[in-house]
Chain A
Amino acid sequence: MELSGGEIIAQFLHDEGVEYLFGYPGGAVLQIYDALLRADKTKHILVRHEQAATHAADGYARSTGKTGVALVTSGPGMTNAVTGIATAYLDSIPLVVLTGQVPTGVIGSDAFQEVDSVGISRPCVKHNFLVKDINDLAETLTKAFYLASSGRPGPVVVDIPKDVTDPNIKIPYTYQQSIEMRSYNPVTKGHPFQIKKALELMLQAKKPVFYTGGGVVLGNASETLRTLVKTLNFPITSTLMGLGAYPSSDEQFLGMLGMHGTYEANMAMHDTDVLIAVGARFDDRVTGHLEHFCPTAKIIHIDIDPSSISKTVQVDIPIVGDVDDVLTSMLELLKDSDNKVTNDSDAMKAWWKQIKQWRKKNCLRYNKKTKTIKPQYVIEKLNEITDDDAYITSDVGQHQMFAAQYYKFEKPRHWINSGGLGTMGFGLPAAMGVQLAHLDKTVACVTGEGSIQMNIQELATCMQYQLPIKIINLNNRYLGMVRQWQEFFYEGRYAMSYMDSIPDFVKLAESYRHVGMKVEQTSDVEDALREAFAMKDKLVFIDFISNREENVYPMIAEGKGHHEMELAPDSELL
């Protein structure tokens, strides 16, 4: 088959089985777009801003486990995409981003719409390529998909100069599905000796706790994790990124840990003697002050990326390997008679008794009897009326934390949010990618009046492709998370965290031919949600006018340890 560069890209995406390509055209990619008209398996989704293309591809990837793909033009198209690329990078999401570039002959001459895409993206990609020769194009695409999805996943940028996609230059093409790279051999199998040592330590533990993260989701290890945790009868807590990997409803689950984690999870972290970190990277939102972190624990850390291990916290038993592989090996070892699980030992009984004590604090309590809408209440109701199959995306701020705390995730890949970069504007475009990947499933985007306005233009994309996303806008008329910090740490000086001139979201939604609803009283919340979710084929924007100065509790202030967390003051509870 003789194909031009543009046709090679179209044909490759087809052969690779790429369902959706999220993009936005421009001069440098015109020839690719022209060729795409011929690709029948891959559907192009026209977004309204390149940032949204990357977030939508990202949402698609997070919810399916497959690589998300975006296509943008050179210069401003590429720079607009950078936020989405960095978002995917910090959460280790497999993306391939194709960027147009000026023709090879004028690279470096400050040509029209030229930026050094490889240079700009270098610090926020797993790898990137500049394809200077059409003969390297197909192989580079194979490498890009391989790198993005294997080992610790991440975004890969492929920068393609315009002359490489010249329709008049055709070369033979064959699809190559896999490729060997001498410089890239991600480890998958954990070291058997380390695994055995870890298991021995676990079986001797008196106060063990599992601390699991996004790696369990990325490594599709939920089932194995559940079996192991059940077999051992250990308590388990999860990072923001790992929510859903272990069912929230299970009694061994302590909830999220960290800055806005539960009392029981953080206290268990503080008191544990054996911490089993699984696919989690000891982020500062999780560890709190490092000096106070797990002061009495021996630490086991399972991670596919050696550089995640002992990066901020020195660990005792590192295991480099794929989480599913390592946990499976542990389960196998447990079948040996000399590895007896003594989960009914006195020590374990005492540990569970202690945890029950902590649980009694009921740290997520809040006052439900107010007339003004509590954001927590909206999430609880959302949880009630959607089933375990619903996908929840979120933006960044207080509403994100409320969603993480009050929505009970039962399945992996159903909680889609930007944790590492914390990108406001992520929620709606991510929800588009999720909805396209799961056309018959419920998708809700929990957002705030600040975040939603960062990519509000995507309501047009939702109109074009009839995406029936439910937008849950927790409208507190504040950049709430910023306001909370100003209340706590800047003596209540609310510098620029007040949202003046908020649009009429109902009319705004309607102008895109969506349904808009405004809800102002607690008593109307449930009915409104039911009504909205009953509109199966409509995007519904529900503007919940919620309590203005609600704070997210519990909270560990920066520089404090897990045991120093603050709970909501009693006055707020009743």
Chain B
Amino acid sequence: MTTTPETTDPSGSSGTSLAAADFANDRASASLGEAFRDWRDRIRGGDMGALPAVLGLIVLAIVFSILRPQTFTSELNIANLLTQAASISVLAMGLIPVLLLGDIDLSAGVAGGMSAGFTAVAIDRSGQHWTLAVLIGLAVGALVGLVIGLLVSRLGIPSFVVTLAFFLGLQGVTLRLIGMGGTVPVRDEVLRAITIKSMPVLAGWIVVVGLLAAYGALMVVRQRRLAQRNLQRPPNALLAVKFASLAVIVLAFTAVLSQNRSRSAALEIAGIPYAVFIVIALLVFWTFVFGRTAYGRHMYAIGGNREAARRAGINVTRLRISAFVICSMMAAISGIISSSYTGSVAPGSGGGNTLLYAVGAAVIGGTSLFGGKGLIRDGVIGGLVIATIDNGLGLLNQAAYINYIITGSVLLLAASVDAISRRRRSATGT
């Protein structure tokens, strides 16, 4: 950081050409070494991004592979793990807009359970088509989000309190809908297929390769445009390394999931579970909205400095409402995925540790509980971490109390990392 006072000739700016030092970092392409140094400085300054989550994922994978070599790395378990991660990730992605604004939605889990309940009831008791039933579930979610948003942003009740009230109240609604001790089965073939069926192997390969190609092409186009205008850009080599590692991981998983993982000889199960594609679609969509549109930019601005956003003419009230609507609708999708996995909706669906897992996923992924910082992908990466812990501990057959203690500790650890890195950021100002 430069703090030297500027020395300008009294004639002002007229005719002065830019010296080499002006915006030095904005011109031309940085070298790989420089990019690495920048990255290291950012991490030291407290901006760790997804690094802790990725490292955690690697450590967890190694530990569980050693402890349960037969089961943890089996094709069946990997497919299972990804399916488990799907509902957590979707809920976590939905929470991120709310967290960006510095708010919280404690009712998201049970809102998802309730929405899934409405969807299941519409099919099972009223014989509706699954499409209409899903729309009903989404509408219920949207309505919940709208009411929460209005209470928070118009009445000014802290989101913590409003959503705690909804956490209790919505469970009551689900109980009334389904009945004490009852469950509503999810038998619809399409909804069940989300988690128990997989895309045919060939189609899966085509989609995966197509997505990777599109992502790579996007990178190239962006880099070209930056180069054309001679603007700051990451080194080509760095992009190549990033893309190559992503491609290797994705293709390796596709290869593993393309194996037959059925335990009986009579039946073949292979391919990527459909739930994974739902997660990818939502990830791409929301990443675009929050990264590339003015709406997304304004959400970050509100999280960073609400008053500044207001003075910039941003409708803070409306955007806060929208965050809760997005959250509850994503919760509805998450609830439906979850009900597809378990095959039923019960009054307790979406309760228990559902919300804690999702908040944990977002925070582990790198989203700050203090607002203003976070990416949609945090929900997916963090969701994988949480699902891996849950899945691995399940394979270890530990007593339930150990799972609770470990998962609680992981959430606390992630929140500590968040708080410490925030302190560092304000100390070093990066």
A is bound by B? no
